[in-house]
Amino acid sequence: MTVIDANRMHEIETRYPEYFHRSFRQRFGGLMILIATLLYSLYAVWFFDLPKLFAEAHWERVGIYLSQWVSYDVQPEFRIGDDGSIDIRYPRFSPLGNNPHPDWLVNNPDGSITVSISGTGRSVTVSKNETIVTAHGVSVPVEVSSGAPKVVGPVPGWMTVYDDNVLADLGFAGNVSISVDRVKIRKRFMGWANFIFDTQSSFFDKPFGEVVSLIVSGPRIKPDQSNLSLAFDDIWNNSEWQHGDVWTKLFQTIVMAFLGTLLGSLTAFPLAFLAARNITPNRLLNQILKRFFDFLRSVDMLIWALFLTRAFGPGPLAGSGAIFLTETGTLGKLYSEGLENIDNKPREGIKSTGAQTVLVHRYGIMPQIVPVFVSQTLYQWESNVRGATIIGAVGAGGIGLKLWEAMRTNANWENVAYMVILILIVVFIFDTASNALRHRLMGTKAH
């Protein structure tokens, strides 16, 4: 066991004062940061009134919207006539087409009609005098022969009685609205209805094998057009999913991001040489250009898009212009800072040979900055693919506008899901390609 005397201890303290005589900040800095973070969190909770926000939020809508992303519904309506007849009607643009005969709707010998809601024992039987809803292991009759529908027996928790109708909530499977002269059923199915062919297509509701047979060797459905061309037209012009318009808008978004980034980089590149203090020794010009870059990038891309849509009207031109202005400021700042941090020795060496300024820049500066500039530009490009979607929502064209239109209807959430998935795929592809190019240019290994 080693014993350290007082002189040795004093010598060690003198040699390493940072360990034995720590400042207040060093001793309590971590604790102060923790306390400040806690106080700021409490302030944020009070400022945004988070308890009230969470209490008043419509959390049930989250499940409704998410279910509509991955499913669709069919809404048969049963109108009960005075003579006891039951007329079945579907909405004008029903996913089942103009003359549906679904196997989950059965005409009974006594004149009633039974609709199977799901495979878990939920069903609705409609007759002249009553409608029987079966769910959760019980059957609840609802009389419809009098002035208002009346539930026979106790009312279950999943059924709500109003003045002129009774609503049975069957969860994800759908719901049933019962009134005296009509019963409206909403039956939900998993999947995306008519994603390939809509109800107006000649191939609608045909099995996959039959469609392939018609395209490969079947007789022409239209004498003046091959079946392959007809199938492509029906898919591209699908009235429910609008594949042609969606893909065209998606391509517009990609072009907007590419064109705006390209023009921004081409504009920022020469301006960056004038803004860099070590390249252009004119302090006034340096400051003017740097403040110009700050102005362009301080105005958000979304604000530029709003300005340009008012000036040029909605469309991809306004979107490309908004990206161009923002990227000129952003890349101008990045390029100029990159130039100010280069190693001046190669440049001075070439300048000492009496070479012209253009050659000095070409051989003394460009080899140092090109990989960095290209890497920064590629990163901005992949970021702008996402940004172009956002600015499209304010009228700047592209799939963002299409996405906003689908969301505004509050009914086409499956179309929203389709476009969101396409955007995610495009962003993933561009992120992967951009990362690979950046690592290749910088000479690093991609992970």
Give per-residue pLDDT as tens, 276-323: 888 888 889 989 999 999 999 888 888 999 888 888 888 888 889 999
Q: Model confidence at 13, in pLDDT bands (50, 70, 90)?
A: low
Of 365, 284, 282, 372, nearest to 331 (Cα)?
Answer: 372
Residues 386 and 249 in one domain: yes
Question: In this structure, is residue 342 part of a structural domain?
Answer: yes
Residues 16 and 161 in one domain: no
Q: Using CA atoms, how far apart are residues 385 and 433, in angstroms rounded to an integer?
A: 13
Mean pLDDT of 3-13: 67
- What pLDDT is attached to residue 394? 79
Q: End of a domain among 176, 205, 234? A: 234
Residues 157 and 206 in one domain: no
Q: Residue 300 sits in a domain of what CATH number? A: 1.10.3720.10
- What pLDDT is attached to residue 19? 61
Mean pLDDT of 401-418: 85
Evaluate if residue 447 carries a pLDDT over 60: no
Residues 170 and 228 in one domain: no
Evaluate if residue 446 carries a pLDDT over 60: no
Q: Taking a C-beta distance cutoff of 8 angstroms, is the pair 343, 368 a contact?
A: yes
Residues 181 and 205 in one domain: no
Place of tokens 């301080």: 298
- What pLDDT is attached to residue 296? 92
Question: In this structure, is residue 68 part of a structural domain?
Answer: no
Question: In this structure, is residue 301 part of a structural domain?
Answer: yes
Residues 342 and 250 in one domain: yes
Q: Which residues pair with 160 in a beta bridge?
A: 167
Mean pLDDT of 364-387: 83
Mean pLDDT of 171-196: 90
Residues of the chain with pLDDT > 90: what percent? 27
Residue of higher predicted confidence among 186 and 433: 186
Torsion sign, CA atoms 119, 89, 102, 143: positive
- Fill in the amino acid letter for 15: R
Evaluate if residue 325 carries a pLDDT over 90: yes
Residues 30 and 84 in one domain: no
Residue 17 neighbours by CB under 8 Å, 6+ apart: none
- What pLDDT is attached to residue 43? 92
Residues 222 and 297 in one domain: no
Mean pLDDT of 152-160: 90
Give per-residue pLDDT as tens, 117-143: 876 678 999 988 889 999 888 899 999
Q: Taking a C-beta distance cutoff of 8 angstroms, is the pair 321, 263 a contact?
A: no
In total, how many domains does the chain have?
Answer: 4
Distances (CA, A) of 307 to 175, 234, 304, 316: 46, 38, 5, 13
Kindly report the pTM of this predicted structure.
0.79
Evaluate if residue 26 carries a pLDDT over 80: no
